[in-house]
Amino acid sequence: MSRSLGSGAHCIGALALYKKGQAKETTSAMTENSGKTTHFGFSEIQESEKAGKVQGVFNSVANKYDVMNDAMSMGIHRIWKDAMMDWLAPRPGQKLLDVAGGTGDISFRFLKRAGRGHATVLDLTEPMLTEGRKRAEAASMADSLDWVVGDAMALPFEDNTFDVYTISFGIRNVTVPQQALNEAYRVLRPGGRLMVLEFNQIPNEMMQKVYDLYSFNIIPRMGQLIAGDKDSYQYLVESIRQFPDQETFLGMVKKAGFENAKYRNLSMGIACLHSGWKI
Amino acid sequence: MTDAPQVFDRRMLESLVCPETHTRLEYDAEKQELVSKAANLAFPIRDGIPVMLRDEARVLD
């Protein structure tokens, strides 16, 4: 915890520069409502507000999401997603639940590797799913794909349903990540596998500084240029910085009930894979 | 858009349950809704995609 507090303080300068508008909004929300609060980027907001704000971000970026991912990560997100599949090793006939699956990136990869199988793509944001369904892969795999709008914290599936649960660059947008992990555990079958791909904290301080310079200065501008939406990409950058470090998140995976929980850093820890099994 | 209108795939009913009560749903083809009697909610289906969010559901009378 001390780590994430430290990183928050480290970025207060950036917060003051970029977030004047939102800070004001947050203050008024805090006085009206005294419920539990959560992070929205660097802003503190009511838990009840987060889902709507996250939907706003993704409604706004849906049709440029794939292009922006390529631009922001210089194509590296593809390597990370392939690394996820390497560790996951999909097998024929498996049933995947791909939460925050947005445009179908993970599900398409999974089905290609599994040969045959089934993937349910669940996302909080409708336009992300309709974008995904338009993609060529979606048409060719239509019989193996379901698209569902849903909340990671209240999944519309029975217990013990899926062989694999993935969430890729999604769990930091969930209001209470622990609750999403608990739900993952519930809907997985005994012997089922959880795999989380997320941006994490870079263990090396020098690298973190370089990364911060890039992410706080360049990414929101790219967002403006490519997607015409600087604020949404500003949120994405801040939400990455607020997310717990690898060890803290590993503890959350274990707390949900997963066994043999482990993580692997990717690209020096810019991203990270967490894996766990429901035994 | 040039896409053909998408219809709800009934096979999805086999795996979907009410996110509130985890009980089974009924498909109302006319209204394009998935009805949870246990929760007294009707979840909309839009463009073939079920929207299983509490906040988007219609409360049944």
Weakest-pLDDT range from A58-62, A182-186, A219-223? A58-62
Top residue of B45, B51, B52, B55 to mutate, by most chain A CBs within 10 Å, is B52
> How would residue A228 be classed by pLDDT, with cut points 50, 70 and 90?
confident
Q: Is A189 left (phi over 0), alpha (psi -120 to 50) or beta?
A: beta
Q: Is residue A224 part of a domain?
A: no
Q: Is the pLDDT of residue B37 over 80?
A: yes
Rounded to whole angstroms, how far apart are CA atoms B21 and A214?
A: 45
Q: What is the pLDDT of residue B1?
A: 43
Alpha-carbon torsion (A218, A219, A224, A225), positive or negative: positive
Top residue of B7, B9, B12, B15 to mutate, by most chain A CBs within 10 Å, is B15
Q: Is residue A180 part of a domain?
A: yes
The winner for highest mean pLDDT among A29-43, A110-124, A222-236 is A110-124
The 3-class SS string of A17-78 reads HHCHHHHHHHHHHHHHCCCCEEEECCEEEEHHHHHHHHHHHHHHHHHHHHHHHHHHHCCHHH
> How would residue A265 be classed by pLDDT, with cut points 50, 70 and 90?
very high
Q: Is residue A32 part of a domain?
A: no
Q: Do B52 and A148 touch (CB under 8 A)?
A: yes
Rounded to whole angstroms, how far apart are CA atoms A230 and A226?
A: 9
Rounded to whole angstroms, how far apart are CA atoms A24 and A78?
A: 37
Host domain of residue A166:
65-201+241-277
Q: Is residue A191 part of a domain?
A: yes
Nearest to A156 among B6, B18, B47 (CB): B18
**Chain B residues whose beta carbon lies within 8 Å of the beta carbon of residue A179:** none
Q: How many helices (H) and strands (E) does chain A have?
A: 14, 9
Q: Is residue A26 part of a domain?
A: no
Q: Is residue A137 part of a domain?
A: yes
Which has more confidence, A178 or A222? A178
Mean pLDDT, rounded, for A160-182: 95
Weakest-pLDDT range from A19-33, A57-71, A255-269, B14-28? A19-33
**Chain B residues whose beta carbon lies within 8 Å of the beta carbon of residue A159:** 22
Q: What is the pLDDT of residue A18?
A: 31
> How would residue B35 be classed by pLDDT, with cut points 50, 70 and 90?
very high
Q: Is residue A149 part of a domain?
A: yes
Q: Is the pLDDT of residue B46 over 80?
A: yes
Top residue of A146, A183, A188 to mutate, by most chain B CBs within 10 Å, is A146
Is residue A256 annotated as involved in ligand binding? Answer: no
How many domains does one find in chain A?
1
Q: What is the pLDDT of residue B5?
A: 62
Q: What is the pLDDT of residue A154?
A: 97
Is residue A98 annotated as involved in ligand binding? Answer: no
Q: What is the pLDDT of residue A33?
A: 52
Q: Is B19 on the interface with A (CB under 8 A)?
A: yes
Q: Do A149 and B47 touch (CB under 8 A)?
A: no
CA of B31 vs chain A CAs: smallest distance (Å): 18
Q: What is the pLDDT of residue A4?
A: 35
Nearest to B50 among A51, A149, A159 (CB): A149
Nearest to A156 among B9, B17, B48 (CB): B17
CATH number, domain of A196, equals 3.40.50.150
Q: Do B17 and A158 touch (CB under 8 A)?
A: yes
% residues pLDDT > 70 (chain A)? 86
Q: Are A150 and B19 in contact (CB under 8 A)?
A: yes
Give the orientation angle of helix A205-217 with respect to helix A230-242, to 10 degrees: 160
Q: Do A148 and B54 touch (CB under 8 A)?
A: no
Which has more confidence, A114 or A207? A114
All domains in chain B, ordered by first residue:
10-59 (2.20.25.10)
Q: Is the pLDDT of residue A117 over 90?
A: yes
Q: Is B7 on the interface with A (CB under 8 A)?
A: no
Q: What is the pLDDT of residue A226?
A: 79
Residue of A nearest to B21 (CA): A156
- pLDDT tens, position by position, A9-63: 333 223 222 333 333 333 333 334 557 888 888 778 888 888 887 787 777 777 7
Q: Do A161 and B15 touch (CB under 8 A)?
A: yes
Weakest-pLDDT range from B10-14, B47-51, B56-60? B10-14
Q: Is B26 left (phi over 0), alpha (psi -120 to 50) or beta?
A: beta
Distance set, CA B46 to CA A111, A172, B60 (Å): 25, 27, 18
pTM of the predicted model as reported, rounded to 2 decimal places: 0.82
> How would residue A76 be classed by pLDDT, with cut points 50, 70 and 90?
confident
Burial bucket for residue B46 (CB in 10 Å: 0-12, 13-18, 19+)? middle
Q: Is residue A16 part of a domain?
A: no
% residues pLDDT > 90 (chain A)? 46
Mean pLDDT, rounded, for A232-236: 81
Give chain A's mean pLDDT: 83
